[in-house]
């Protein structure tokens, strides 16, 4: 296992909700990352994140880790949920909130 793979694995498995994104939650550096940050903020979900722009190795590594070509990538309890489009669609349908609650993640807003 490479160092970057081990880093990603650690973040995904040791945080209830983890977001690999471009930028930071306070300063997203792409619209898609910003959308996911807004959704998580609206739901009041506690999460940790990593800025893939700080490391080309991380940026490429996360894509290889999930075999998913885009960033952001959201994980809940070690499970890859998806990128911005999937997260947005799940949120709009109420599925993201339900998924979080079923995983034992407190959600402040449900609709």
**Residue-level pLDDT at 111:** 53
**Residue-level pLDDT at 6:** 95
The pTM of this model reads: 0.94
DSSP H helix total and E strand total for the chain? 5, 6
**Residue-level pLDDT at 108:** 87
List, as residue ranges, the binding site for [2Fe-2S] cluster: 30
Which architecture, in CATH terms, is 3-103?
A: 3-Layer(aba) Sandwich (3.40)
Domain range annotation of the chain: 3-103
**Residue-level pLDDT at 81:** 97
List, as residue ranges, the binding site: 30
Tokens in use for 65? 């880790």
Give the count of alpha carbons within 13 A of 94, CB side only: 2
Q: What is the mean pLDDT of each run of 10 residues along the chain (111 residues)?
A: 90 97 97 97 96 96 95 97 97 96 86 53
């Amino acid at each position: 296992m490479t160092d970057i793979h081990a880093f990603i694995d650690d973040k995904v498995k040791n945080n209830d909700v983890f977001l690999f994104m471009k930028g930071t939650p306070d300063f997203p550096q792409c619209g898609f990352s910003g959308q996911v940050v807004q959704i998580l903020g609206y739901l009041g979900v506690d999460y940790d994140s990593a800025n893939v722009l700080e490391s080309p190795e991380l940026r490429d590594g996360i894509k290889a880790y999930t075999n998913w070509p885009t960033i952001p990538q959201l994980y809940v309890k070690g499970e890859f949920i998806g990128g911005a489009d999937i997260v947005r669609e799940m949120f709009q349908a109420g599925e993201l909130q339900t998924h979080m609650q079923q995983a034992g993640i407190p959600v402040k807003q449900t609709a």
